[in-house]
Amino acid sequence: MSTPADPLATSATANAMWGGRFASGPDAIMTAINASIGFDRRLYAQDIAGSRAHVAMLAGTGIVSRSDAEAIGEGLLTVLSEIEAGRFEFRTDLEDIHLNVESRLKDLIGPAAGRLHTARSRNDQVAVDFRLWVRDQCDAAITGLQALMRAFLAQAAAGADWVMPGFTHLQTAQPVTWGHHMLAYVEMLNRDLGRFRDARARMNECPLGAAALAGTSFPIDRAMTAAALGFDRPTANSLDSVSDRDFALEFLAASSICAMHLSRFAEELVIWSSAQFRFVRLSDRWTTGSSIMPQKKNPDAAELLRAKLGRILGATVALFTVMKGLALTYSKDMQEDKEQVFDAADTLMLALAAMTGMVGDMTANRDVLAASAASGFSTATDLADWLVRALNLPFREAHHVTGRLVALAEAKGCDLPDLSIAEMTAEHPGITQEVYSVLGVQNSVNSRTSYGGTAPIRVAEQVARWHTLLADAALPQERQP
């Protein structure tokens, strides 16, 4: 693919494609700031698809002749093949992808190319191109999320009954299972997937035919172009059609939330793979070494993923800032809508692929997880619950009794199961040997059988359920117990 011409060297022909209103070309600096071909060339496939649908409609409604429409359609396919083969010359003096394609079409088929722009404007043209592109990115995000969900599900299935510490405030709270922890991310990612599906459904209306802002006097068939491009229907208001980019903002918002979820697990991987935790081992594919410390195995991929949210969230804020003060309808400010969306989409797809690889490759250190699950008096809540159930104590009193036993164990340097029955009855005479049945971490997780709980039996049920849902690609956004 050729390098764009130097924008400072090409100004004389910059107005050639868009009318006789101007007697001279713009200043070279104006050409540089005005041109978007350096980035909107990425829309070439969508631009050509939109043009082919448009000219087919023009022929179907008798606005242009069949012969001209056929020549335009074939010429556009030639342009597409040239771009995909890297033989197309992108010209900065032609500003954008639309004029570049139309200019090359004129070279190929002559004056008939000028009929392509009948009953449309670059305003509705870019609106449909960009919608098509963002719609494709929603589909790619959905596919990437499903792959990552399957990677987490595989981890959950393997460790449905492995105990590990559950944390609040990054302090040991209660024992949970590895499978339960992995399934938490499956749930989060499914909501992300739902957001992309919702965004796709809302954006799936075709703005083509809105023309510059007011519609057109030509007898066009907007339903025909909408159907040809896979939209559900044409947009209902021409002003709205060319003036909003909420579909891109919604994609960015969904991307930001998704990237936040990825960043949270990346943080856990950084912590878990440290020498102080040793909960997981990351494969050599996703780690790097140190230039000076030969013992190091750094979780660089996880750290980079943790940072990617900044780029995506920054793109979201940038586009909100572009759009927030624009009166209807189109303003040139909206040319600044694409670069941040392109970068955010690229970043998200890379992050999803990298996280899928890391989750698939990581190995949990089961023995370390189990030992850590038993630390920090993680079964204290089980003791308090037992006091409520067995001795009918009010929970607040049970909480205080348990707190005193925790303080005693801490002073002795032991865990709750290591306290003798005499030491326990000294705090409350009703305590019996039965209490030890709830103090082991495996007993603790086995007891958490409420719907959505960490008990291995519940985890296995959820794993089976998600296997079915992912296999059927039937991922509901709202589910009842």
Catalytic center residues: 169, 290
- The answer to whether 356 touches 151, Cβ cutoff 8 Å, is yes
Q: Which residue has the tokens 């107005």?
A: 15
Question: Which are the contacts of 237, defined by CB distance < 8 A and separation ≥ 6?
Answer: none
Radius of gyration of the chain (CA): 31
Partners of 168 in the β-ladder:
171
Query: What angle, rounded to 10 degrees, do the helices at 178-203 and 122-158 form?
Result: 160
End-to-end CA distance of the chain: 54
Distances (CA, A) of 220 to 47, 59, 166, 186: 19, 10, 62, 46
* φ and ψ at residue 140, rounded to 5 degrees: -65, -40
Q: Which residue type occupies 89? A: E
Residues shown for the chain: 481
CA distance 469 to 460: 14
Q: How far, in whole angstroms, is CA 271 from its chain's centroid?
A: 23
Question: By CB neighbour count within 10 A (0-12 exposed, 13-18 middle, 19+ buried), where does 223 fall?
Answer: middle
